[in-house]
Chain A
Amino acid sequence: MNCNEVVREIPPYCYGEVSPAIEETLEAHLADCPACTRELAKHRKFLTRMDERAEMPDTGMLASCRTDLRTAISRVPAPVATNWLESFRNLWQLNIPFRVPVGAMALVALGFFAARVTPERFGGMKAGLSEPMFSNVRSVEPDASGQVRISVDEVHRRMVSGALGDANIQQLLLEAAREENNPGVRVESIGLLKNNVDSEEVRNALLDALTRDQNPGVRLKALEGLRPYAGNKDVRKTLASVLVKDENAGVRVQAIDLLTTHRDDSIVGALQNALQYEDNTYVRAQCERLLAEMKASVGTY
């Protein structure tokens, strides 16, 4: 271990987060290296200083938070898991394999929509209710007489198939794109939807996914789908904000690439802002290039 490597290990070392092997090497190095020993002492002093700045909420604050929470919750209806939607989520949590094949014809196996989708709505399509696929034991209650009561959820999987252009299929995909607890379904849905950006609703769903989805994979797919609309004013505004706000460098790289396809003075401010925080060299270089092309300065002041 050289001095640089030792210095990098000092913060985790001070928290007891290095392996025994590294600890041993590090301590051997420290024994012979005054510079690294000084560095360690400095780091420890810094940590002590930081300890003095620990925040402790007082009990009054905690009490008022609890009161506020109780009030807030009394306004929310009790969310008890009893419906089909939840049953489907349970299935997902249990890692039942579930895939949506990608292609011109989408075969969408969205069991959880069984509750929302009426047969009338899919009257014109191949739709059939299969046998119960899975039983989820929700509770087991023995009673004094030796009887046991078991509460079981049965989940039916409904297969719905249709062309991607079909309005009903698109509607299902739009709903699936917002499936909060299921990133896998969101990625697939956005991936399919992005081939149909002509529809304003789809475009809005992509913009929505790009700004709100927690999953960078979903955001990247949404960006791909927005490519043909890189000239659109709303799309560009969103791309500029992604550049400032998105934590994922891959997403920012895609966003800047889309932005560089068009020139547009209204995003100068956003580019300058982004530059103040950007640590990705590629994104920085592209921002600077774009600003230079628009003859704008690189900094805001």
Chain B
Amino acid sequence: MLEAVEVLSARMAQTESQTDEAGLIRAAQKGDQDAFERLVRSYDHSVLRVAMNLLRSPDEARDVYQEAFLKVYRNLHTFRFDCSFHTWLYRIVTNICLDHLRRRKVRREESTVVETSEGVVDRMSQLEEGAPHADPERQMWNRQLGGKIDQALESLTPRERAVFELRHYEGLRLRAIGEMIGTTEEAAKNCLFRATQKMRASLEAFV
């Protein structure tokens, strides 16, 4: 009897964080603002990171953050626990990022090089701030590589880029990525292959 109770309590401890989250979601669904904020806080760091990695622009990442959590706020009552909250949230974030990338692609067609070169300058200064003690040679190399990687990423289609970034930086499984962007695991795998081929071709001097 005692043994059974122990097993049970161990199981309960294991699922505690999950039920905790479910409890938060249910409370937030009923309009509990505090619960909603706690829910935001447990995920917003990774949401911002996904957006930063996918878009490589702090301003756009901020926009995605706002857009995504406002959408969550407005639609949380439709969440029915038929997938994990994490999957649901990431699906929202990925789709917003894809929209941004698509718009950017169209904007790029319409505008000239100026915007792109500005962006590169911005990113370079960021890179420097990130590594204040690096030796100058290394810094130079990083700067060149950073610029090249950004260019290589821009050459991908939004979908290829999303698959690569979600797999490489977020460590998500291809199956999960497929679900998020509305495609199969196999298609996500092909997308990943195309993305890495394109990137490696543009980064040939560095890799």
Contact = CB atoms under 8 A, between A and B. Distances in A.
Nearest to B55: A55
B192 A49 contact: no
Most A CB contacts (10 A, CB to CB) among B106, B142, B168 go to B168
B85 interface: no
A52 interface: yes
Contacts of B189: 12, 17
Interface in A33-83: 42-43, 45-47, 49-57, 61-62, 64-66, 68-70, 72-73, 76, 78-81
B102 A46 contact: no
A124 to B, nearest CB: 34
Given A79-B73, A93-B78, A244-B109, A52 B145 contact: yes
Nearest to B80: A93
A54 B53 contact: yes
A62 B44 CA distance: 8
Main secondary structure of the interface of B (DSSP, over half): helix
The bracket for how many chain B residues form the interface is 35 or more
Given A50-B149, A245-B102, A276-B109, A69 B40 contact: yes
Interface string B34-65: 00110011001100110011001010011001
A57 B52 contact: yes
A178 interface: no
A69 B65 CA distance: 8
A76 B77 contact: no
Given A42-B207, A78-B31, A61 B48 contact: yes
B58 A73 contact: no
Interface of A: 8, 11-12, 15, 17, 42-43, 45-47, 49-57, 61-62, 64-66, 68-70, 72-73, 76, 78-81, 86, 89-90, 93-94, 181, 214, 244-245, 247, 273, 276-277, 279
